[in-house]
Amino acid sequence: MLKLRRIGVDTYRENVAYLSRDCPLYRAEKFQGLAKIEVSKNGRSILAVLNIVDDLQLLPRDELGLSEQAFHQLGLPEGETVTVAQAAPPASRDAIRAKVLGRVLSAEEYEAIIRDIAANRYSKMEIAAFLIASASFLTTDEVLSLTRAMAAVGNRLTWPDRPIVDKHCIGGIPGNRTSMIVVPIVAAHGVTIPKTSSRAITSPAGTADTMEALARVDVDPDEMRDIVSRTRGCIVWGGRANLSPADDVLISVERPLGIDTREQMVASILSKKLAAGSTHLIVDIPVGPSSKIRSHLEAARLRKLFEFVGDQTGLTLEVQITDGRQPVGYGVGPVLEARDVMRVLENSPSAPADLRQRALLLAGRILEFDPRLRGGRGHERARELLDTGAAARAMSRIVEAQGPSPESYALGTRTRDLSADRDGVVESVDCYRIARIARLAGAPADKGAGIDLFKKVGDPVQKGEPLYRVHAAHPTDFRFATEMAASDSGYRVAAAA
Amino acid sequence: MLKLRRIGVDTYRENVAYLSRDCPLYRAEKFQGLAKIEVSKNGRSILAVLNIVDDLQLLPRDELGLSEQAFHQLGLPEGETVTVAQAAPPASRDAIRAKVLGRVLSAEEYEAIIRDIAANRYSKMEIAAFLIASASFLTTDEVLSLTRAMAAVGNRLTWPDRPIVDKHCIGGIPGNRTSMIVVPIVAAHGVTIPKTSSRAITSPAGTADTMEALARVDVDPDEMRDIVSRTRGCIVWGGRANLSPADDVLISVERPLGIDTREQMVASILSKKLAAGSTHLIVDIPVGPSSKIRSHLEAARLRKLFEFVGDQTGLTLEVQITDGRQPVGYGVGPVLEARDVMRVLENSPSAPADLRQRALLLAGRILEFDPRLRGGRGHERARELLDTGAAARAMSRIVEAQGPSPESYALGTRTRDLSADRDGVVESVDCYRIARIARLAGAPADKGAGIDLFKKVGDPVQKGEPLYRVHAAHPTDFRFATEMAASDSGYRVAAAA
């Protein structure tokens, strides 16, 4: 028996076990090159990828180390004795192999796969194999099975009333922070909209990151229910609710691999909405040359897939295709985006018109789920709630109910302006490039980092006039971001006609 | 700048970097969820997967840790200062994405992919993505490109004379240790046969493991050339020669995933043979219900692919399809297999006839590469060299030239006999099951562990008569192996007609 030791290493959603090469009980090399090992004690067990330790100061010979996630999953105290064996393949292994060979899988097979993924029984390379095999071919019924399986494996939120409305944007457009305007408008109308959002993984800000510049977002489901019972709405980080743990694992592989198929996207989004207890959903699909979806044909296909899975799972779902040709609003990065949101809610003259219009469009469609507003009256009602300050007051109640953010955040003080190199008109702004520069500047980890846009598509500019300002907190980030911006600003300026 | 620290962890062919969550210079979480980071110093750099460290005793805040392989690859001393950045995707990343989308890749694209794999620029999940995408479709030209790219990226052995002959078995049959008989027969005839072999990864013994029971096999290319100049042959571990470093990385992902496509197999085997300087090759493809290749149709397809790539790369290649319905010889595990080999070479009455016959068949075909023996005279010559003791003497010279093994190995002393549960005739022996039990018993890590078969297919048995004996050194291994053997011995005994 080996003594259990916690190894303070975060292996990012993969279980890793550490065993000394000189372990007197097990020949560590015997396990190397195999899929995984099983670490057990009295019927409790976890699977983990093995790392062999050659340094006795890191791990004594007679101990078995577990990375943070694996240690917590096993749930035993340090010093407990455990045994180690070659892991038997997870129950769903044959189904994954069948998918690799191109077979269409059943609902039961997806349930088994998703259960094993959520229980961290697969290594990242095994998950990559499943994702790549799925990326090459999934039937619509498989997307449905995958969605249901993913929704079933996590927590499910329940709400005392109906409808429970929600909105979701498939992402890719910097500054597109409509949720933070839509939620207070809808809540002000008296409809329940408990919004759970993600933090950014590869973008400069997620809604949760931006809301955190204004209020606490790390809220558990009980608190969330309490907040919503008082205010009709919330804007919180979804991570605490553990709505789709399998999706969290899948994302940890999809992102580094850059896999972003329609099928995975629909299953990922709708599984979380189902688990969150939503009954009505608007999906925003921005289309543009540097957006995730580049053509209207692609958008139409994605829309049909959303509608199919929505219908089959009993979700009232509508898709709104929007203009995704440039960033929305002026700010990119949490603090700057929160500023834009508040300007819209406060009807400030400096509020970005495009952000306001998009938020009203989406809020209007949600309000039309209310039978009294059917037939196009939703948009008018949304504008009324915004213009009268009812939405701003709803936002204040939500911010107050969620409580203050644990830290306060200020705009990054290292700044540099990027200027036009000719006279003309802004022809295009590359969403991907702008996101990349804002991220290099430190967003979202540094909430005050990012980009403040001064010009949008169609605006006339003069040579030397600033196009945008880079904000950063740390000198290295500032250097990387400004270097990248200098090499290609992401703006194209055409000579005026 | 961070101080470099070597972390004594073997992450099995994946570069891993360790950074403190509280690092004052870089926000470690900023890098998490991305593909990889780049660790650099004065133009030297490596890519690595990031693990975040939460324990300052494992890694101080201002240090950057590298796993063993990554540390050696960077090639800088501990304490040197390094910088860290988000890694740009490797040059071949677009080619891998194209393969995932189903495109046929060019020779140049395979060269780029294989270069990046060999330089450890991909994580295991990225390699899994490439392998799964390739598994679903590769043209024969792509197999050829892959083979050439893999051969080009490692060392290449050169030899003063020609032909350089070789044999290779695609594996899967326990005890099939013909190489250790073929090499001395061919060397005794005066033809050069510098055999590099692998160690077992998932089987109970590779040829290198078995030869190591008799002689040193950890030999570098210069010594190998010296040995071969004196004896015409050698049987050494190929790992030192670094013949196909990309293949070593691919295997570290293929094995745990259980991917074993014809295309990968051909590219893997032939790239190593080309790099080893072989000019003539016999490939042994055993066919049987529990072998890797289960039908003659499958074997015929594989044969054609071997022949196609062999022809295009200038290798004189012949395929021998053999009976793979049961283990070969009596012993399974390095010490037991070495015993069988020596009995055949010494013409002992207790030598396994099947091992002898297979070795003569393969050696005969190799000898027929000699123009003087064409037309079927190779087999007769092989038998003459074996029967007269010329092969045994060649083996003695090879063993002496390679030198003694660093350790001596004895048969595992914990034994248990597995007995027939009825009277009858042995109908089948499951190769996979026997291999699994022998591995659980400790082979190949414990060279004396394994299984000694007493009965083969067609042999009459009486109830209670032993079918085989399990040998193990360690008590846990002994228990696991005998428990698995008791639950299913791998033998089917049919009532005598």
pLDDT in tens, A278-289: 999 999 999 999
CA atoms within 13 A on the CB side of A13: 20
- Separation of alpha carbons A100 and A128, rounded Å: 11
Instruction: Say whether pLDDT at A380 is over 70.
Output: yes
First-last CA distance in chain B: 80
| Mean pLDDT (whole number) for A83-107 | 93
A94 is catalytic: no
Q: Which residues contact A304 (CB under 8 A, 6 or more apart)?
A: none
A33 with B129: Cβ contact below 8 A:
no
Q: Which residues contact A152 (CB under 8 A, 6 or more apart)?
A: A111, A114
Q: For position A404, what pLDDT does the model report?
A: 96
- Return residues 1-30 of B near A (CB < 8 Å): 7-12, 18, 21, 25-27, 29-30
**Distances in Å between the alpha carbon of B31 and those of A12, B60, B87, B93, B427?**
11, 18, 9, 19, 58
Instruction: Say whether pLDDT at A496 is over 80.
Output: no
Structure tokens at B238: 């190929």
Sign of CA dihedral A220, A226, A229, A233: negative
* Separation in Å, CA of B221 to nearest CA in chain A: 25
Higher pLDDT, B240 or B324: B324
**B98 shares contact with chain A (CB less than 8 Å):** no
pLDDT confidence band for B202 (50 / 70 / 90): confident
Asked if residues A32 and A54 have their Cβ atoms less than 8 Å apart, the reply is no
For residue A89, whether the previous peptide bond is cis, meaning omega lies within 30 degrees of 0, is: no
Tokens 């003791």 -> residue: B389
Asked if residues B320 and B368 have their Cβ atoms less than 8 Å apart, the reply is no
**B125 shares contact with chain A (CB less than 8 Å):** yes
Helix (H, G, I), strand (E, B) or coil at A98: helix
pLDDT confidence band for B497 (50 / 70 / 90): low
The alpha-carbon radius of gyration of chain B (Å, integer) is 25
Q: Is B385 exposed, middle or buried (0-12, 13-18, 19+ CB in 10 A)?
A: buried
Sign of CA dihedral B472, B476, B480, B482: positive
Structure tokens at A272: 């979380």
For residue A444, count other CB atoms closer than 10 A to its CB: 27
- Provide DSSP, A250-314: HHHHHHHHT---HHHHHHHHHHHHHHTT-SEEEEEEEE-TTSSB-SHHHHHHHHHHHHHHHHHTT
Domains of chain B as residue ranges with CATH: 2-86 (2.40.40.20), 165-241+272-402 (3.40.1030.10), 414-494 (3.90.1170.30)
Q: For position B35, what pLDDT does the model report?
A: 76
A132 with B128: Cβ contact below 8 A:
yes
| Mean pLDDT (whole number) for A356-381 | 95
Among B51, B97, B128, the residue with its CB nearest the CB of A11 is B51
* Separation in Å, CA of B217 to nearest CA in chain A: 18
B27 with A446: Cβ contact below 8 A:
yes
| Mean pLDDT (whole number) for B96-107 | 94
For residue A454, count other CB atoms closer than 10 A to its CB: 16
- Separation of alpha carbons B414 and B435, rounded Å: 18
Q: For position A201, what pLDDT does the model report?
A: 81
- Separation of alpha carbons B1 and A74, rounded Å: 37
Query: Does the interface predicted TM-score (ipTM) exceed 0.85?
Result: yes
Backbone angles phi, psi at B82, to 5 degrees: -135, 160
| Selection from A243, A252, A276, A265 nearest residue A143 by Cα | A265
Instruction: Say whether pLDDT at A221 is over 70.
Output: yes
For B376-385, the pLDDT digits (tens) are: 899 999 999 9
Find the helix or strand (DSSP H, E) in which B335 lies: helix B334-345
What angle is formed at CA B472 by the lines to CA B469 and CA B477, rounded to 5 degrees?
A: 120
- Mean pLDDT score of chain B: 95
- In total, chain B counts a number of residues equal to 497
| Selection from A70, A60, A79 nearest residue A22 by Cα | A60
Q: What is the dihedral of CA B188, B193, B198, B199, to 10 degrees?
A: 20
| Mean pLDDT (whole number) for A378-397 | 98
DSSP class of B164? B
- Provide DSSP, A100-138: HTTPPPPHHHHHHHHHHHHTT-S-HHHHHHHHHHHHH--
**A127 shares contact with chain B (CB less than 8 Å):** yes
- Return residues 343-382 of B near A (CB < 8 Å): none
Q: Are strands B63-67 and B193-197 parallel, antiparallel or unpaired?
A: unpaired
Q: Is A277 exposed, middle or buried (0-12, 13-18, 19+ CB in 10 A)?
A: middle
- The rounded Cα B426 to chain-centroid distance in angstroms is 30
- Separation of alpha carbons B492 and B331, rounded Å: 19
**Contact list, A445 vs chain B (CB under 8 Å):** 27, 29-30
**Contact list, B251 vs chain A (CB under 8 Å):** 33
- Separation of alpha carbons A35 and A57, rounded Å: 27
Instruction: Say whether pLDDT at B429 is over 90.
Output: yes
| Mean pLDDT (whole number) for A375-390 | 96
Annotate B307-322 with b (16+ C-beta within 10 A) or e (fewer): bbbbebbebebbbbbb
Q: Which residues contact A493 (CB under 8 A, 6 or more apart)?
A: A420, A421, A422, A424, A425, A426, A427, A461
B136 with A10: Cβ contact below 8 A:
no
- Mean pLDDT score of chain A: 95
Kindly state the percentage of chain B with pLDDT values over 70. Answer: 100
Angle, helix B353-367 to helix B334-345, in steps of 10 degrees:
70
Q: For position A240, what pLDDT does the model report?
A: 87
- Separation of alpha carbons B130 and B232, rounded Å: 40
Please pick, among B141, B218, B260, B459, the residue that the annotation labels catalytic. Answer: B260
For B306-332, the pLDDT digits (tens) are: 999 999 999 999 999 999 999 999 999
Helix (H, G, I), strand (E, B) or coil at B222: helix
Helices vs strands, H then E, count in chain A: 18, 19
Q: For position A214, what pLDDT does the model report?
A: 97
Among A11, A27, A102, the residue with its CB nearest the CB of B445 is A27
| Mean pLDDT (whole number) for A443-456 | 96
Helix (H, G, I), strand (E, B) or coil at B465: coil
Asked if residues B52 and B85 have their Cβ atoms less than 8 Å apart, the reply is no
- Separation of alpha carbons A146 and A366, rounded Å: 27
Asked if residues A319 and A285 have their Cβ atoms less than 8 Å apart, the reply is yes
**A134 shares contact with chain B (CB less than 8 Å):** no
Helix (H, G, I), strand (E, B) or coil at A227: helix
Higher pLDDT, A192 or B256: A192
Higher pLDDT, B25 or A317: A317
A10 with B32: Cβ contact below 8 A:
yes
- The rounded Cα B20 to chain-centroid distance in angstroms is 38
Q: For position B417, what pLDDT does the model report?
A: 98
| Mean pLDDT (whole number) for A476-490 | 94
Please name the amino acid found at residue A27. Answer: R
- Separation of alpha carbons A373 and A189, rounded Å: 11
Q: For position A374, what pLDDT does the model report?
A: 86
For A118-174, the pLDDT digits (tens) are: 999 999 999 999 999 998 889 999 999 999 999 999 999 999 989 999 999 998 899
For residue B475, whether the previous peptide bond is cis, meaning omega lies within 30 degrees of 0, is: no
Nearest residue of chain B to residue A443 (CA atoms): B30
- Separation of alpha carbons A322 and A320, rounded Å: 6
Asked if residues B329 and B352 have their Cβ atoms less than 8 Å apart, the reply is yes
- Least trusted range by pLDDT, from A37-41, B22-26, B167-171, B230-234: B22-26
Structure tokens at B152: 């080009």
Q: For position A497, what pLDDT does the model report?
A: 67
Q: For position B137, what pLDDT does the model report?
A: 87
What angle is formed at CA A201 by the lines to CA A197 and CA A204, rounded to 5 degrees?
A: 90
- Separation of alpha carbons B188 and B178, rounded Å: 16
- Return residues 457-476 of A near B (CB < 8 Å): 476
What is the 3-state composition of chain A as percent helix, strand, coil, each rounded to the nearest 5?
A: 40, 20, 35
| Mean pLDDT (whole number) for B253-257 | 90
Structure tokens at B89: 């995707």
Please pick, among A22, A141, A260, A323, the residue that the annotation labels catalytic. Answer: A260
Asked if residues B59 and B53 have their Cβ atoms less than 8 Å apart, the reply is yes
A100 with B135: Cβ contact below 8 A:
yes
| Selection from B90, B134, B130 nearest residue B112 by Cα | B90
